[in-house]
A and B are shown apart, each in its own frame.
Chain A
Amino acid sequence: SQQGEEDPQALSIQEGENATMNCSYKTSINNLQWYRQNSGRGLVHLILIRSNEREKHSGRLRVTLDTSKKSSSLLITASRAADTASYFCATDARTGNQFYFGTGTSLTVIP
């Protein structure tokens, strides 16, 4: 399986705290992406980081990538109740236009 794993599986924090979730993957990649899924909905793209980048920011999101360890982390700062969702990392296979997802982290932000 080329599927990655995310850690933790579930995370519960208070509003205003930071949330960090981690992703590990198995193969060489061109880029890594993070997606968000609200309950009962499809996934929505959040941010993309390329294999030659180490860190990227977008609003309250900060993503890091360590290709030597085949891992990435997503940090959401100053969390809000509306950030409650599941978060998935996805990698593309160098051999083609295929995308493989991690198992996801369920984030609950308590108001």
Chain B
Amino acid sequence: DAGITQSPRHKVTETGTPVTLRCHQTENHRYMYWYRQDPGHGLRLIHYSYGVKDTDKGEVSDGYSVSRSKTEDFLLTLESATSSQTSVYFCAITGNEKLFFGSGTQLSVL
């Protein structure tokens, strides 16, 4: 799957705790993205990165932060998880104008 690994695949956490999701790519692509997928909303862009230490907000960035200290890793942090952040999170990279996705992280905030 295009050399993209997301971890963990599943996580259950409690409201108010910080959570970090990791995306690792082996393709050396410049652009990386975090999306969340919810029923009735499709995929919504949270944050994206266009290089090491270069990131920008997407449509639904409130409550999320990201970091990219190396080309291959893009981290998504929920600073204080809320139940509304229960979702499936997908990481993606671009190559030849197309997006390639990881397998997703199912996050449940109780």
Contact = CB atoms under 8 A, between A and B. Distances in A.
B41 A98 contact: no
B59 A101 contact: no
Given A3-B59, A41-B103, A42-B90, A98 B45 contact: yes
Contacts of B43: 43, 88, 101
A22 B68 CA distance: 36
B17 to A, nearest CB: 26
Contacts of B33: 99
Nearest to B58: A98
Interface residues of A, number: 26
10 smallest beta-carbon distances between A and B, as pairs: A42-B101, A103-B42, A101-B43, A45-B98, A104-B42, A101-B42, A43-B101, A42-B103, A97-B31, A102-B42
27 contacts: A1-B59, A2-B59, A3-B42, A3-B59, A31-B97, A33-B97, A33-B99, A40-B104, A42-B92, A42-B101, A42-B102, A43-B43, A43-B90, A43-B99, A43-B101, A45-B98, A45-B99, A48-B97, A88-B42, A88-B43, A92-B97, A97-B94, A99-B45, A99-B92, A101-B44, A103-B40, A104-B42
Given A42-B90, A44-B101, 15 more contacts: A2-B59, A6-B42, A42-B103, A43-B92, A45-B100, A48-B97, A88-B42, A88-B43, A97-B31, A97-B50, A100-B45, A100-B59, A102-B42, A103-B42, A104-B42
